[in-house]
Amino acid sequence: MTGLLSSFLAVEAVPDVSFTTEANWFLENVWIIPLLPILSFFAILFFGKRLPQGGAEIGIAAVGLAFVLAILTNIAWLDHRDNFDYHDGETRTHLEKHDDHAEDEHASALLEVDGVTESVVLSFAEEGAEGAEEIHPSVAVISERSWFTNGDVDFTAGTIVDGPVALMLFVVTTISLLVHIYSTDYVSGDRRYTHFFAFLSLFTGSMLAYVVSHNILQMIVTWELVGLCSFALIGHWWEEKPNSDAALKAFLTNRVGDIGLLVGMVILFFSAGGTFDVVEINEKAVSGEISQTALTWAAISLTAAVMSKSGQFVLHTWLPDAMAGPTPVSALIHAATLVVAGVFMIARLYPVFWYGFVIPGSDINGLALIGSITVVFGGLLAFVQNDIKKVLAYSTVSQLGYMVLALGVGAWTAALFHLFTHAFFKAGLFLGSGSVAHSVHSFDMKKDMGGMRKFMPTTFKTFIICSIALAGVFPFAGFWSKDEILVGTGGFGVGAGKANGEYTLMLVMGLVGAMLTGAYMTRCIYLTFFGEFRGHGHPHESGPRITIPLIILSVFAFGAGFLNFPPGFLTGDAKKPSFWQERFGHFVEPLAAYFPPISHSVPSWWLAIIASVIGLIGPAIAYFYYFVLVDRKAKETGEKLTELPNGPTTSVGFLKAGHTLLVNKYYLDHLYQNVIVGFTKGPLSKAAYWFNQNVLDGVVDEAGRTAVRSGNFIYRYIDQGAIEGVVNGSGRASTSGGQGLRKIQTGKVQQYAALLFAGATVLAGIFMFVN
Amino acid sequence: MNELREWGLTLLIFAPLIGAAIMMAFPKTDEGIHKVIALGTTIVTAIIGVILLIDFDYDRADEMQWAVERDWIDIIRAEYAVGIDGMSLPLLILTLLVVPLVIIYSWNHFPNPHNPKAFLMLILVLHTGMIGSFVARDLVLFFVFFEVVLLPMFFMIAVWGGEDRKYASLKFFLYTLFGSALMLVSFLALFFLAGAETFSIVGLAEAVADGDISRNAQIWIFGGMLLGFGIKVPMFPFHTWLPDAHTQAPTQGSVILAAVLLKLGTYGFVRIAIPILPEAAVVWAPWIGLLACIGIIYGALGCLAQTDMKRLIAFSSVAHMGYVMLGIATLTDWGINAAIFGMVAHGLITGMLFFVAGSVKERYHTLEISRLGGLLVSAPRMGWILGFISMASLGLPGLAGFWGEFPAILAAYNPANGLPVGLFRVYMVIAALGTVLAAGYLLWLLQRTAMGEPSEEFANDPHITDPNREEWIAWTPLLVLILVFGLVPGLIFNVTDPAVEANISDCLSADVGDDKANFDVGACERDGLDAALAELGVAIGDGE
């Protein structure tokens, strides 16, 4: 027993508790945090225009207050995580059997490793028995109220606070507050300034409501609300058609993924015995009460939703187009917060994916595969973009791929950690690109930028810091989180014991992705900040409301990684993490009955070094190409070059083909827009309508004509006979081709009605005999 | 109060007729008087509605309240039996809300050829028919009210309609009359086969449950009702009267048609067809589900092909009523609760859409989508409203439309005993696919009409203005309710649920005779769910 445990470091004794309803006030009343920005939305909408700052002051006040509350909630959580007395407190799980057994028996969990089923006996009640030390659990805090009744079951709405929620509250409110402040300068004088701030508030509120959702129905509602805000903000300048097109594309692509969301959630609802409760579903997935088949189908369906919301390959195409929105929106929504909603959903319902995709003990699964493909294919696309925001957008796609990959290989904490660090440096990069664009009035790096470091030193410095963090250079934030993901793959057996399986392919793809990241950012930095200025006018540094958020974000981009030093870093003993190591993992990762028994990899110095070297090869090549070759050529010719004339992509055959493929975005947009959407909007709908008008309606009209004819027949020969009928009848018979009903005089209605009722009476008689 | 409980519903039914009768006394030229009388009458009915809402005992929502039973036509055992329970209350209130709003909207906007007297009298007669249909508990009474609705609507389209009004009105009238005839046949067959003793819904249900009618006859009778109600809904492929009627009807007619009249069909299913003939319902349900799913996809495709805004909205009704019918086809609590929610939501949302379409028409004098555009620039508030209801219509969570759609999709995953589970799961996926198409046609409509710059033709047209006072008064309650029901779905679910349980679950779980084998197929799964639900109930109970 002891031996088994020590070989899998993290098969910890997870105490059999899930949640409590009584805790610190801030943890119980977390619903106030999303409510503030939502109220602010309505306040701005109705009163914003009358205020001196056009409503921005309401938004900033609300989000600022939410930020303060989020900080307090986090502090409360830090205390609660370690000091909550789960023996005496009001704690429980949804599974009754656990309550019965916890007292006298060891609850057992099945852990499947490399095809061998081992029964790991976990001891909670008897402290320290059989060598397994009791780990202090992470007890979630839940509060709920009745929402509606259906099928005689009362459904509640409520909030949950646990590690990942506390984290997201901090991330969302921080970035949102900075973006709000930045926006007061960036969009000042905009034609819909007030409207812009209203939707920033609504977005922040919906996202916060999403993360605190304690049931999947609430998650669906808020998931769609953030989608709505995304639609409204991407299409902020809807007068121009490309913008409204982008907004529609974003919404519709997400709707495609939502099919998966709805189906997946429905499967979970029924397979968990008719509940939407996240904790209960998770507990039942962990305890095996939900069948493997159901979990697999649910996981596959939900993955489709993640693919659209979190921009995973092949449903990522909306994300770069979403850059049509104002830059602060790109930073807030399409880099730091909204797009991680999908990642957060996997994290929230992790047992479903963990068991559904059989993550432990495998070497490949759907989630990890999608993530790794996205890392590489998204990164490649960043190389052919001229629009600085699109470079960053594809970079976001690629980084989201890392998060999904990490979740796919079982490195849950690494994924959330990367979500955390990425939020800061990517927001910094987007806001930095906005700062540049604000000054040159364009996003085109090749046409209108170049040499910006001279004009905008602060923006330049912060951009460089965030880029280095993104590229994952030691000791910046991205290094720590990316390294944790790479170790987590367990590829080639790194991490001492393939914690959750041996995902070698994912490790390789992750390394390739790291190489690409540095390279495209080097290109981006060269084109933007180095060389000669190619635009017009006299660019200058942005004001403090823009630069101060940039500085704050770059501080996080540098230091956020220190929150999760790997265990054993500088102390050597990975099995006994020091008090300053793995802080992030300790507070964020749920250790409770609603979370699967994930294992943690042991950090590997070798991998860190190799990854760093590989991660530097890419930038080195890009540096050589741009800073040496292009720069030299530019000085020789005296032209403002952005690439080598007759460079490899125009001269070498397969590179040229590859370049064309990338420029056309793998032809996915062509497939979606021209083939699928075009077919549905064009031939398919027209065919359906033709069928409607000519076949279905044809039958009706023909029936009408026949009724008229037979009515006339009866009227003429039976009822009246003779002349009048002949005139009427012939008059009507001569009209044909869909005109039949049109020619009928309304005065005849009673006649037909009488006919129909006579028929009805006859039919009623027939029924008598049928019986 | 007791007096009102005795007389309330009767007053409700006949108040509009009294109003119409008073109006007859005044000459056509006194338009003001007619407007006041009509509005006053509908406000009186609305006030009774509010009293009903207050007096209604929500703990007994499964029972008929304010119930009255009197002998009526003794020779055919028809009774004057009215009452209201949780299933009919939301629809009745919807009716009582919408009609006054329509009259307010009409205040200064009577369609050609004007004549407010006749127009308002027709609306009042219509009002009686709609109220009566929702409170009737006797099939003959129901049928009478059901038919009373037809003529006023026919005249509204035929006299105040668009260019092609004669064709459209006659098609509407004859098509629905054809359905009514079949429905009547079914009612009569039920009456005679059950021993010619009663037309009461409960009485007939008991007679059927006692095995008075053979299974075959039940299936045939249900088939007749299916056609009768299905045409009214309208279900694919009986929907072709709807786009024509909607396109040609005046705005007021379209709103009432969409908001209330279509619900008479679906209400017929949940109030009459399924409770009386549960066994036959199980036989027909897969087919109803199939038609519902075709309707969802087909209606959406029809929308994509439209070039006229009003016709597009009309086609969207086909798709939306598909969700309602899918919910009904599952024969589960969830599905039927969703269906009733969907009826109310569709009434509010599509009613609003037709209001806006009418106002757009009044300003632009066209509904040709390609000529519109830039509504958000020309009339920003109107553009916002259109955006808001488009979002509601495509089923955005947090707004009313979602609660009709999602629970119906959910219910299809686990239909009632005896229904083919695999097939319904396919329906579920098709219905989910329909939500994408719905978003497609609605947002595309929004993009083409509201976004962009106004075309040259309308760029500086002074007639294109934000909603006026009457429009605001008429629209605000609907807009607010769309939001409120979206956030607090319990307002409807909590009312309908007990009644649905009593009417649907009970009749389905009752002993169903010779089709035992068929019923056992899904029984295990179902039992498991019930047990789990019971357990959950305990767990939640503990939690509080």
Q: What are phi and psi of B26, to 5 degrees?
A: -100, 145
pLDDT for the residue numbered A177: 92
pLDDT for the residue numbered B162: 83
Going by C-alpha positions, the residue among B299, B305, B309 that lies closest to residue B262 is B299
Buried b or exposed e, range B134-173, using 16+ CB within 10 angstroms: bbbbbbbbbbbbbbbbbbbbbbbbbbbbbeebbbbbbbbb
Question: What residues contact B236, with CB distance under 8 A and at least 6 apart?
Answer: B291, B292, B294, B295, B298, B299, B318, B322
pLDDT band at A205 (very low <50, low <70, confident <90, very high): very high
Q: How many residues in chain B?
A: 544
Which residues face B159 on adjacent strands? none
Q: At A675, list the tokens.
A: 């083939």
pLDDT for the residue numbered A495: 61
% of chain A with per-residue pLDDT over 70: 81
pLDDT for A520-571, tens place per residue?
Answer: 998 888 888 888 888 787 888 888 888 889 999 999 888 888 888 777 676 6
In angstroms, what is the C-alpha Rg of chain A? 31
Substitution target in A49, A210, A223, A238 with the highest count of B β-carbons within 10 Å is: A238
Contact between residue A212 and residue A165 where contact means Cβ atoms under 8 Å apart: yes
B413 contacts chain A (CB < 8 A): yes
Q: SS3 for A533?
A: coil
Going by C-alpha positions, the residue among A649, A432, A448, A650 that lies closest to residue A531 is A448
Whether A767 sits inside 8 A of B189 (CB atoms) is yes
H-assigned helices in A364-387? 366-381
Query: What separation in angstroms does the CA of B518 have from each of B328, B396, B512, B530?
Result: 20, 38, 10, 19
Q: At A649, list the tokens.
A: 């992509």
pLDDT for the residue numbered B197: 81
Helix or strand run (H / E) with residue A116: strand A116-121
Buried b or exposed e, range B307-322, using 16+ CB within 10 angstroms: ebbbbbbbbbbbbbbb
pLDDT for the residue numbered B530: 46
Quick one: CA dihedral A166, A169, A171, A173, positive or negative? negative
CA-CA distance, B134 to A197, in Å (whole number)? Answer: 46
Contact between residue A141 and residue A89 where contact means Cβ atoms under 8 Å apart: no
| Angle at B543 (CA atoms; ends B538, B544), nearest 5 degrees | 105
Residue A745, pLDDT above cutoff 60: no
pLDDT for A49-91, tens place per residue?
Answer: 888 877 888 889 999 999 999 999 988 888 888 777 776 655 5
pLDDT for A328-378, tens place per residue?
Answer: 888 888 877 888 899 999 999 999 998 888 888 777 888 889 999 999 988
Q: Please, which residues 169-188 of chain B have a Cβ atom closer than 8 Å to chain A?
A: 169-171, 173-175, 177-178, 181-182, 184-185, 188
Q: Which residues of chain B fall below pLDDT 50?
A: 510-544
Mean pLDDT of chain A: 79
Half-sphere CA count of A615, side-chain side, radius 13 A: 25
Helix or strand run (H / E) with residue A140: strand A140-150
CA distance B370 to chain A (A): 14
Task: Say whether the peptide bond before residue A139 is cis (omega within 30 degrees of 0).
Answer: no
Buried b or exposed e, range A1-40, using 16+ CB within 10 angstroms: eeebbeebbbbbbbbbbbbbbebbebbbebeebbbbbbeb
CA-CA distance, A255 to B437, in Å (whole number)? Answer: 9
Q: What are phi and psi of A31, to 5 degrees?
A: -60, -20
Residue A762, pLDDT above cutoff 80: no
Q: How many residues in chain A?
A: 771
CA-CA distance, A419 to A241, in Å (whole number)? Answer: 33
pLDDT for the residue numbered B352: 94
Whether A270 sits inside 8 A of B414 (CB atoms) is yes
Secondary structure in 3-state letters for A61-89 = HHHHHHHHHHHHHHHHHHHHHHHCCCCCC
pLDDT band at A673 (very low <50, low <70, confident <90, very high): confident
Q: What are phi and psi of A581, to 5 degrees?
A: -105, 150
Pairing of strands A140-150, A19-20: parallel
pLDDT band at A5 (very low <50, low <70, confident <90, very high): very low
Query: What separation in angstroms does the CA of A432 have from each of A427, A473, A548?
Result: 8, 19, 11
Burial of A621 (0-12, 13-18, 19+ CB in 10 A): middle
CA-CA distance, B375 to B82, in Å (whole number)? Answer: 46
Contact between residue B472 and residue B412 where contact means Cβ atoms under 8 Å apart: no
CA distance B164 to chain A (A): 8
pLDDT band at A751 (very low <50, low <70, confident <90, very high): low
Burial of A646 (0-12, 13-18, 19+ CB in 10 A): exposed
B211 contacts chain A (CB < 8 A): no
A42 contacts chain B (CB < 8 A): no
B337 contacts chain A (CB < 8 A): yes
B317 contacts chain A (CB < 8 A): no
Helix or strand run (H / E) with residue A155: strand A153-161
Instruction: Kindly give the interhelix angle for A697-713 and A722-733, rounded to the nearest 10 degrees.
Output: 160
Pairing of strands A116-121, B78-84: unpaired
Whether A144 sits inside 8 A of B543 (CB atoms) is yes
Which residues face B71 on adjacent strands? B79
CA-CA distance, B232 to A125, in Å (whole number)? Answer: 64
Contact between residue B415 and residue B522 where contact means Cβ atoms under 8 Å apart: yes
**Among partner residues A152, A273, A692, which is closest to B497 by beta-carbon distance?**
A152
Half-sphere CA count of A179, side-chain side, radius 13 A: 34
**Among partner residues A245, A252, A273, which is closest to B536 by beta-carbon distance?**
A273
pLDDT for A287-334, tens place per residue?
Answer: 888 888 889 999 999 999 999 988 888 888 888 888 888 888 888 888
pLDDT for A561-615, tens place per residue?
Answer: 888 877 767 666 666 667 777 778 778 888 888 888 887 777 777 888 888 888 8
- Token pair 């870093």: residue: A569
pLDDT for the residue numbered B295: 92
Whether A239 sits inside 8 A of B214 (CB atoms) is no
Residue A11, pLDDT above cutoff 60: no
Q: Compute CA B305 distance to the chain's CA centroid, rounded to the nearest angstrom.
A: 25
**Among partner residues B185, B406, B532, which is closest to A767 by beta-carbon distance?**
B185
Going by C-alpha positions, the residue among A244, A322, A189 that lies closest to residue B374 is A244
H-assigned helices in A187-291? 193-212, 216-234, 241-271, 278-287
Q: At A560, list the tokens.
A: 């956020």
Whether B302 sits inside 8 A of A689 (CB atoms) is yes
Q: Is A213 left (phi over 0), alpha (psi -120 to 50) or beta?
A: beta
pLDDT for the residue numbered B323: 93
pLDDT for A158-196, tens place per residue?
Answer: 888 888 999 999 999 999 999 999 988 888 878 788 888
B316 contacts chain A (CB < 8 A): no
pLDDT for A135-161, tens place per residue?
Answer: 777 888 888 888 777 776 778 888 888
pLDDT for A15-55, tens place per residue?
Answer: 677 787 777 788 888 888 999 999 999 888 888 788 887 78
Query: What separation in angstroms does the CA of B199 have from each of A178, A597, B133?
Result: 69, 63, 15
**Among partner residues B177, B450, B536, which is closest to A153 by beta-carbon distance?**
B536
pLDDT band at A97 (very low <50, low <70, confident <90, very high): very low
Q: Give residue A46's identity as a one-letter amino acid code.
A: F
pLDDT for the residue numbered A718: 64
CA distance A145 to chain B (A): 9
pLDDT for the residue numbered B326: 93
Contacts of B402 in chain A (CB under 8 A): 221, 224
ipTM attached to this prediction: 0.85
Whether B177 sits inside 8 A of A151 (CB atoms) is no
Residue A103, pLDDT above cutoff 80: no
